[in-house]
Amino acid sequence: MKRIDINSDLGESFGCYTLGMDSEVLQHVSSANIACGFHAGDPLVMERTVSHAVKLGTAIGAHPGFPDLMGFGRKNMACSPQEIKAYVQYKIGALQAFASSHGAKLQHVKPHGALYNLAGRDFNVAMAIAQAVSEIDPGLILLGLSGSQLIKAGRQAGLQTASEVFADRNYRSDGSLVPRVEPDAVIQDHEAAIVRTVQMVKEGAVKAVTGEVIPICADSICVHGDNPEAVSFARDIHRALQGEGIEVVPLIKLFL
């Protein structure tokens, strides 16, 4: 039986501001990427999200981004590889503390937003992240865009890597995501996105916005938890995969 992970970016509320439907989305995903502060999240939100994930048996991962609260981590910042490495280690350590307090361990690390995109194409940035992860815990899985420099750097650093695909995002012909500032970046048709996601998993390919069919590796599917249809979208993708005989499991079980 083929296996796949479903992940979502969660714990992104901050102070009195609530973002996303974490408690509901957590019921339909197998791995949670929890914001570690700097771009979103705060200590109380982190603790609450970890606690809920542990109760549901959802695997926990750190979701570090640039120190960009104003732009939600989606603005590029002029940071050196040394700074990026330190930022990532700082944030992993913070989430590790909350996981440990609940008797849990981190499963993976997935960069957020602009840092994720930059690491996808810049090997030096990708290696800074991979080294940060490796030095803290070489048993952590590095989750990154399929075919990206982050996957390459993770493997070179001796880490177990997992390739991610996006249920509701369009792709360019080079395998990168269409930037959010462009009108065709996000797929709005719920059913079309589900059909395409199942095809990516089963066929290892996806149609780019240019019409080309490009190869893609799918270990984990990202579903976003910050839009009104997030819960039904996550639920329906989960059901569609199971209907095709594909088992949804946390990342760690893909490598057993």
- Kindly report, residue by residue over 46-90, the tens digit of the pLDDT: 999 999 999 999 999 999 999 999 999 999 999 999 999 999 999
pLDDT value of position 99:
98
Collapse the DSSP code of 155 into the 3-class scheme (helix H, G, I; strand E, B; otherwise coil) and give the result: helix
Instruction: Categorize the per-residue pLDDT at 181 as very low, low, confident or very high, splitting at 50, 70 and 90.
Output: confident
Instruction: Categorize the per-residue pLDDT at 110 as very low, low, confident or very high, splitting at 50, 70 and 90.
Output: very high
Nearest alpha carbon to residue 119 among 106, 128, 131, 109: 128
Instruction: Categorize the per-residue pLDDT at 21 as very low, low, confident or very high, splitting at 50, 70 and 90.
Output: confident
**Alpha-carbon gap, residue 200 to 205, rounded angstroms:** 5
For tokens 């803290």, what's the residue?
A: 136
- In the chain, the domains with their CATH numbers are 3-255 (3.20.20.370)
**Alpha-carbon gap, residue 221 to 29, rounded angstroms:** 9
For tokens 């395998």, what's the residue?
A: 175
Q: Read off the pTM.
A: 0.95
Q: Which amino acid is at 173?
A: S
Q: Between helices 43-56 and 81-101, what is the axis angle to 10°?
A: 60
pLDDT value of position 227:
67
Per-residue pLDDT tens digits for 121-138: 999 999 999 999 999 999
